[in-house]
Structures are given as C-alpha cells and as structure tokens.
C-alpha cells in the first residue's frame, strides 16, 4: 500500500525550462501530488497544475525530479531534503497509475504488480509489470506504457544466466529482469494466467463450433487464440465446416447477416478473417455504447441461458480488394457480431498510390497486416469504437476525455484513427454510407 504521507505537500525549489533548456521560471514552491496531476504553488506566482495527460516522461536523478511535457517544457522539483525519495516515489506511482488507466491497460481481474527492469528492442529501464487475466501491462518509467495481450504470447521461459523472464510474442521478445526472489512467482503467474485463458477460449470455441473431433478442436483453439484473428483459409484447413458453423453461430442479427453477405461479395472469400476476445474482465463501469447516427431497430433478444460466450466478442474483418483496381476497394471492413453498436467500420489498407501499384501478392500481404493492426486497436480499446471515429475536439472534453492520453500515446489507436475512412450504420442508408467510405479509401 502506498505511503499516504508521501502525498502531502512538499516544500522545495521549482524550475520551468523551455524546450531548448532555457530557464523560464524559478522560485521556491510547494509540490502536491494528486491522482491526475502535480500541483505546483510557486511562492509569488500563479499555481501550475501539471496534468498527467500532458506528461511524456519522468526522470529522477541527483535529487532532481523532472516531468517532461508533450510540448517539450520540463518541470523540475529539487531541494526537497529528506522527503525527496517519498515525493519521487509518490509522483512516479501516481503517474504510472494514471497512465495505466488512461492507456486502457487496466483490467478488474488480476493486476498483481512486480517491480522489474524491462528489456525490449535493445532498450533497458525500470518498469512495473502487472499480470491481468488477459494481458500483461508494462508501465515503464521512461517509455510509453504498453500492454501485451496474452493471446499473442507464444512462450514464457526463465533464463538462469541472465536471471530474466523471457516472453516470446507475435511481435518479438521482451524480458523482465531484476525481480530477485519474485522471479519465480511472476513466471508461474504468467504461465497460469496464459493456461487459464487458453482453456476458457477453447471452451468458447467448442460452444461456437460444436462436435469437432478432438484434434480438430485443439487446432481451432491454436488457430484462434484470444484476441488474434485468423483468416478463413486457415480455419477451412482444420475442417470444412469450421467457418460456416462459426458464422452461423456468431452472426444471428438480421441486419448483420445482410451486411455480412454484401461485404463477403466484395472480397476474396478465403481472406476474410475472424477473431474472438474475452472482454468481460475489461468492461467500463459506465456501460458505454456508441452514439447512433440515426434511429435503429431494437436488437434481437439474446438467449437468457448462460454460455461460454458471455462476456466475449466475435468480430469479422473483410479485406475489400480486387485485382481490378478501378473497382471500389483498399479497405478493411469490420463487423462486431455480438456487441451493441450496429455499424460497419472501414479502414484504409494502404495509401491510394501504393494500392494501385502493388502486385496482387503484395496487396494481400498489406491487407493481412492491416487486419492485424485494426484488431490490435479494437482489442486495446475493448471494442469501444468512439475513440476511433469521434472528432478530436470531442475526445478532449466531457466523458470522452478519458481517451485523451490514449489518443496521444497509444500506437494502436493512433494507427486506427489515421486509417479510419468511415462507418456505415446498419439501416436504409448502409450501402450508400459504405460506398462513400470506400470512395474516401481511394482518395
């Protein structure tokens, strides 16, 4: 538990430095760490509230604590005496908690914390690792915090020579070092959470595609890990009826069936992809839904009977591409099968010039990459789509301001917003809105 006395106001010296290092302001001040900001009260000047949403980094060295702002300015606290350590710890803990929440890394289930060093992409630094039910969150002190979906983890191992936990993922390797006596508990917990998630995902897939032979059911669970999509060609190779049964089980709404058929006609059938994700551990308390653009019919009633799909999402991704580049295309269309918010979302695959000049094999490869990147964004957002399509000014105020930090620092969200070309609400205007989005994808 955090030492509350460390959060009480601390007297010291304050300096505000410009992006070029020039001193803009300096004076004695009182520093007060809060859950969302650092309040600086200079002795003879207006107070400065340093919002954590505007902070890009924190460093503490030689008894000077420095916050680096998005705009390049630096806020220094020094001459804190014996309270420097407590202040630095409290500021770091508050900032990390805020970033974990603001970057949507938290889950209600799990969250055991391990202080460590992070080794990734040739960089090494202090961090905090939190093991949740479906992900590993890494809140690095001098890097942007990030989350590793456990569905993307291939293996967890311990290197005795380096005394490091090595985690192999689809995106590469990351290592947790200097855990000391907590190395073994951390490794065991990661392996346990990964095994439990794989078991739950297998049960959900068995419910969606019942009656498969033992080894076929196992191959299906391996092909569709939690949060990672697979193309129809991969699923057809397991058993001929896997894809059709999956679609029949997941696509039950009438309007969704109509759009599914229309989208399927626009893309190579074997390239359509599907994914399954456990999100019941990551629901916002607000029960947020999308804002409809026009009145919609009431959704069909869901069966009251509990089943392994409760709290899970199935989504489909349609690569709208064609060897004839004059046809509408250059987009990934996304349909979420069993979650409120009845709309098709479309994302540009590549810049129009690249789309027109790419070979067919190159285009299929680009489409697979975009399918994966769009899925990562949806998983990171727990399938809330407002952060993707709402205007930037709306995301900076009101209830959507919670996405302010993610909009600025989350790589998956930034990629999704940069390639988003429109959405089509299921209803009378669906096809017209789809055509408009496809036109934007090639402009």
Distance in angstroms between the alpha carbons of the first and the last residue of the chain: 54
Confidence (pLDDT) at 299: 44
Is 110-197 the same fold as 4-101? yes
Question: Which helix (H) or strand (E) is 235 found in, with range?
Answer: helix 232-236
**Which CATH number applies to 4-101: 3.40.50.2000, 3.80.10.10, 3.90.1150.10, 2.30.29.30?**
2.30.29.30
Global pTM? 0.86
Instruction: Compute the distance between CA of residue 106 and CA of residue 406 in angstroms, rounded to an integer.
Output: 13
Over the stretch 142-200, which tens digit does the pLDDT of each residue have? 778 899 999 999 999 999 999 999 999 988 999 999 999 999 999 999 999 999 999 99
The conformation of residue 399, written as its DSSP 8-state character, comes to G
* Nearest alpha carbon to residue 208 among 162, 173, 160, 243: 243
Over the stretch 74-112, which tens digit does the pLDDT of each residue have? 999 999 999 999 999 999 889 989 999 999 999 988 999
Structure tokens given for 90: 């409290």
CATH 2.30.29.30 given to domain 110-197: yes
Instruction: Compute the distance between CA of residue 53 and CA of residue 37 in angstroms, rounded to an integer.
Output: 8
Q: Domain spans of the chain?
A: 4-101, 110-197, 209-441
Instruction: Compute the distance between CA of residue 403 and CA of residue 102 in angstroms, rounded to an integer.
Output: 6
Angle between helices 183-208 and 242-250 (to 10 degrees): 90
Instruction: Compute the distance between CA of residue 80 and CA of residue 87 in angstroms, rounded to an integer.
Output: 8
């Amino acid at each position: 538990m955090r030492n509350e006395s460390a959060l009480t106001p601390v007297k010291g010296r304050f300096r505000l430095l410009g992006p070029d290092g020039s001193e803009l302001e300096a004076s004695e001040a009182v520093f007060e760490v809060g859950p969302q900001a650092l309040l600086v009260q200079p002795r003879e000047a207006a107070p400065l509230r340093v919002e954590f949403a505007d902070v890009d980094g924190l460093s503490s060295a030689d008894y000077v604590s420095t916050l680096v702002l998005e705009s390049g300015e630096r806020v220094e606290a020094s001459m804190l005496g014996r309270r420097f350590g407590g202040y630095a710890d409290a500021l770091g803990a508050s900032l990390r908690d805020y970033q974990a929440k603001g970057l949507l890394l938290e889950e209600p289930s799990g969250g055991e914390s391990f202080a460590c060093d992070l080794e990734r992409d040739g960089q090494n630094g202090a961090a905090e690792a939190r093991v949740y039910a479906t992900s590993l969150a890494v809140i690095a002190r001098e890097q942007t915090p990030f989350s590793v979906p456990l569905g993307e983890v291939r293996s967890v191992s311990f290197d005795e020579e380096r005394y490091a936990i090595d985690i192999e993922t689809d995106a590469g390797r990351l290592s947790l070092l200097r855990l000391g006596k907590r190395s073994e508990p951390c490794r065991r917990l990661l392996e346990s959470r990964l095994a439990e998630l794989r078991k739950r995902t297998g049960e959900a897939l068995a419910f969606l595609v019942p009656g498969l032979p033992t080894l076929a059911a196992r191959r299906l669970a391996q092909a569709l890990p939690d949060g990672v999509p697979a193309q129809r060609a991969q699923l057809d190779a397991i058993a001929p009826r896997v894809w059709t049964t999956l679609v029949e089980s997941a696509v039950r709404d009438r309007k969704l069936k109509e759009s599914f058929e229309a989208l399927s006609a626009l893309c190579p059938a074997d390239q359509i992809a599907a994914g399954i994700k456990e999100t019941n551990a990551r629901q916002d308390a607000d029960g947020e839904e999308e804002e409809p653009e026009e009145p919609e019919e009431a959704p069909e009633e869901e069966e009251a009977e509990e089943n392994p799909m409760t709290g899970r999402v199935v989504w489909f991704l349609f690569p709208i591409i064609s060897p004839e580049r004059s046809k509408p295309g250059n987009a990934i269309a996304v349909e979420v099968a069993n979650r409120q918010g009845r709309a098709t979302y479309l994302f540009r695959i590549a810049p129009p010039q690249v789309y027109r000049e790419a070979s067919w094999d190159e285009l299929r490869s680009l489409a697979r990459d975009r399918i994966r990147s769009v899925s990562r964004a949806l998983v990171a957002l727990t399938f809330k789509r407002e952060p993707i399509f709402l205007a930037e000014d709306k995301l900076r105020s009101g209830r959507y301001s919670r996405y302010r930090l993610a909009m600025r620092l989350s790589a998956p969200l930034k990629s999704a917003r940069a390639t988003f070309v429109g959405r089509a609400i299921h209803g009378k205007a669906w096809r017209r809105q789809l055509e408009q989005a496809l036109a934007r994808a090639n402009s």
